Every structure is written in C-alpha cells, then in structure tokens.
Amino acid sequence: AVYFSRSRDEIWHKGATSGQIQKIVEMRIDCDQDCLWLKVLPQGDGGACHVGFRSCFYRVVEDGKLVERP
C-alpha cells in the first residue's frame, strides 16, 4: 500500500525500508467517502506498526482510558 504521511509530509510506500509491505485484498470507503479501510494479507514475521506492534491499532478505550492491547 502507498500512503500520504502527514508527519513526513510526503507519499511513502509501506515497507520500503522495513520490508513489511502490504498487499491489499480489499478496499472499502465509508458513506461520506472520506475514509478508507484496507484489508491486507498477513505481513509475515514482525509488526506492521513502525513502533513494533502487529497492528497500528493496538490501543483500546476502556473506562475512558487508553490501554495497549498488542
């Protein structure tokens, strides 16, 4: 997958340096057409998130607090 990084202010290819590329299986768009959801194949060993987690969505809200769930 290819993304625009707001923090880098540039387009980047996921996995270009880490090797953790994303092969897109399915793309969905929300009703407002302002959000994409990508379903990707498993990325092999290692995490997909640049901080080492399997997914970038490793935080959950429990009782109004963020909790990490690797």
Instruction: Provide the pairing of β-strand 24-29 with 65-68.
Output: unpaired
Is the pLDDT confidence value at 63 over 70? yes
Structural domain spans, the chain: 2-68
pLDDT of residue 44: 64
Is 7 or 21 the better-scoring residue by pLDDT?
Answer: 7
Q: Quote the pTM value.
A: 0.54
In words, the CATH class of domain 2-68 is alpha beta
The average pLDDT across 8-14 equals: 87
Beta strands, E only, 1-70:
2-5, 10-13, 24-29, 36-40, 59-62, 65-68
Is the pLDDT confidence value at 49 over 90? no
pLDDT of residue 40: 82
Q: Which two tokens stand for residue 52?
A: 């080492």
